[in-house]
A and B are shown apart, each in its own frame.
Chain A
């Protein structure tokens, strides 16, 4: 019964979404405030309905109701509660439901917090948001119904794919979706601005927090996914240039460009058309990502859905929203008034350069991902575009973009002094160069790019710190006063500094890969094997039984000299329900690096074939991602403050006028 209520709520949500699309848009045209206000209540109703539907599906999974096809195919009565819940979105239907749930959450946020906006802008934005909901709700109801019943119901479910039985699934997809779908707000507001033919700094001020939230969550989502791949796939790879990963990277790159250009627009009223373009681009890539993942058009390690009917449906949605918005852009963008002049050498100029590099990097990922498909379609010829291509194109472009970061961060708005900035950054430049040269000497003809990346990373981190220092301290200032000044710097500045340091950290972690070492060998009990600065000894091999699997565990000790620094337990896990075996790597974090050991099945004499790695600085890759997201959060906190300031100063002005 609860399942049917969920299904019915989903249909109601579609009705609410239709109302949200038509009524406020009509109201905005007719200038009718009553009709425009409907958008708000429709958005909230839609959210409530989808939340009920989602809760109904979660309930079915928790109760192991195998009369529901979705539960029978993806759950198991013996699974721990957390995997019963994460199993809700560990499959096509459930993940689409999560997608629309998040879409509705963002719509509700606009409805609740958009009071300061011009009424027509909000009405149009909610209408566009509603249209996206209509499309995806139709998609779910017509092709991917998670509430479909199964008769007769089986006694036991088929269990969730063992690779997905991991805490990573609890956080990675929801975060990624929050990021993906968060850009829908940016998109809706861009479309609304184009419909109105007017855009200003107030638009940027309202959209920027949403963009920061979406971007920050997408950043953590990608980092979490990368970390998840690192520890589950058993050989320590953390990025594969897999089409599905590329699908999440493209909106991230476009979104990164957007949050920078929207900042320019808010502060300097410049780059309006470009900002709108990026807003459309970011969500278009989100839609493209949804298409690539959900249609099964690319078979990849991530793909768990393939049904051509669905593919064609999503393709239609994709075409409607991408072509529609770009048509609107081509028609309306020339009407937007340009403002905010700036010299080529200025912070705006540096941001334009940075945006160019980011979007070009994004384009290389786009072409690299879709070119093989297109070529095969048109000529029948099959090619592969893999890591070497992306490293040469996207990698180099992003390294360049990172290198521009400290310069742009230190330049003044409008007209900058490049020579002065170079002088100010001299310490960072020299330190970066020294690190690159020493690194190259250390590797002796090894990967040159690793040492270059390490140099750029040091430059980026020091550059951000220097800028903080330069803003807080002037010659002759006491340390206490400088600290006070530092505390008084706007939070958005601190956010930007932290995010840039995060970029440097990630880059440093990537560079560390070039300085790692490995051993591929068979371990015998009690015989130490050196890897990097550590030695690893196999102590024992044993069997263990988990809730829905059995595993063979090898216990190993990691020593630095004679000192024991860690104990690790790499394992092989057998899942009975799907007759699958997974490799559980044994890991120990030492400083910012990791010892990483994955094993094959032990030989009869107790010897264990193993791959042992020492990966220096590798955790910085993900910590850097967290720092970037934290920087975004700091900037967000600043927004709220500045709303307050604006209100206070308005009050002060009113008082002055009265007096």
Chain B
């Protein structure tokens, strides 16, 4: 359950390496910048979003995002621009395309395989356990009587 961690961390947006001098004046625009930067990878760190990272490159991209958002671009446009510049590598959530199909289908496929295995195992199971032998019946009777 420990890994439910990020499930919420992403949505909440509490922990960031954003510095005070970067923050935009308009809270709505700043909020959009924060949402976007949580989806982008710091290219020189491992598995950290640029929002969390202290690296100078992450700071540059954070400022770039804020500049473009300040100029009136939508989040999608900024994201498209960054992907054209850095490739899919910058997206923390890989896009759905032929190469990543197997990745995205890994969960449903595994679950389906598991369910199939359970069904097959159930079908193979003997219908009932063997009946008791006469001797066992007698012992059972003796045991239950004593109780």
Contact = CB atoms under 8 A, between A and B. Distances in A.
Contacts of B102: 367, 371
Contacts of A516: 12, 14
B46 A389 contact: no
A520 B2 contact: no
B82 interface: no
Given A242-B46, A359-B114, A402 B1 contact: yes
Residue from B4, B94, B106, B111 with most neighbouring chain A CB atoms (10 Å) = B4
B110 A394 contact: no
Nearest to A302: B46
Contacts of B111: 356-357, 360
B41 interface: yes
Contacts of A610: 20
A632 interface: no
Contacts of B19: 520, 600, 609
Nearest to A505: B1
Main SS at interface, chain A: helix
B47 interface: yes
A609 B92 CA distance: 28
A235 B52 contact: yes
A402 B1 CA distance: 8
A14 interface: no
Contact of A367 (B45, B93, B103): B103
Interface string A350-361: 001000110111
Nearest to A600: B19
Contacts of B16: 235, 518, 520, 611
Contacts of A41: none
A513 B110 contact: no
Contacts of A371: 100, 102-103, 106
A237 B15 contact: yes
Contacts of A139: none
A31 interface: no
B18 interface: yes
B61 interface: no
Interface in A363-387: 363-368, 371, 375, 379, 381-387
A388 interface: yes
A610 B16 CA distance: 11
Interface string B1-39: 111111111111011111111010000000000000001
A391 interface: yes
Nearest to B127: A341
A391 B91 CA distance: 15
A343 to B, nearest CB: 10
A368 B103 contact: yes
B15 A449 contact: no
B138 interface: no
A364 B110 contact: yes
B47 A236 contact: no
A238 B125 contact: no
Interface size of A as a range: 35 or more
B107 A510 contact: no
A447 B8 contact: yes
Given A226-B2, A383-B100, A391-B7, A236 B14 contact: yes
B126 interface: yes
Contacts of A300: 46-47
A385 B1 contact: no
B2 to A, nearest CB: 6
A363 B106 contact: yes
Contact of B94 (A273, A389, A448): A389
A506 B1 contact: yes
A338 interface: yes
B129 interface: yes
B17 A383 contact: no
A359 B93 CA distance: 22
Contacts of A436: none
A252 B5 CA distance: 15
A479 interface: no
Contacts of A506: 1-2, 4
Contact of A384 (B2, B90, B110, B114): B90
Contacts of A366: 106
Nearest to B89: A382
Nearest to A447: B11
A406 to B, nearest CB: 14
B4 A615 contact: no
Contacts of B106: 363-364, 366-368, 371, 393
A382 B89 CA distance: 6
Nearest to A596: B15
Nearest to B43: A384
Contact of A388 (B10, B46, B110): B10
Interface string B108-147: 0011001100100100111011000000000000000000
Contacts of A390: 3, 6-7
Contacts of A513: 5, 8-9, 12, 14
A624 interface: yes
Nearest to A607: B20
Interface string A378-421: 01011111111111111111110010000000000000000000
Interface string A280-308: 00000000000000000011110000000
28 contacts: A236-B14, A240-B47, A249-B2, A274-B121, A338-B126, A341-B128, A356-B115, A359-B110, A360-B110, A360-B111, A382-B87, A386-B49, A386-B92, A387-B47, A387-B92, A388-B39, A391-B10, A392-B93, A396-B7, A449-B11, A453-B4, A510-B8, A513-B9, A513-B14, A516-B12, A609-B21, A610-B20, A621-B5
The list of the 4 closest CB pairs from A to B, nearest first, reads A386-B92, A447-B11, A395-B7, A239-B5
Interface of B: 1-12, 14-21, 23, 39, 41, 45-49, 52, 54, 87-94, 99-100, 102-103, 106-107, 110-111, 114-115, 118, 121, 124-126, 128-129
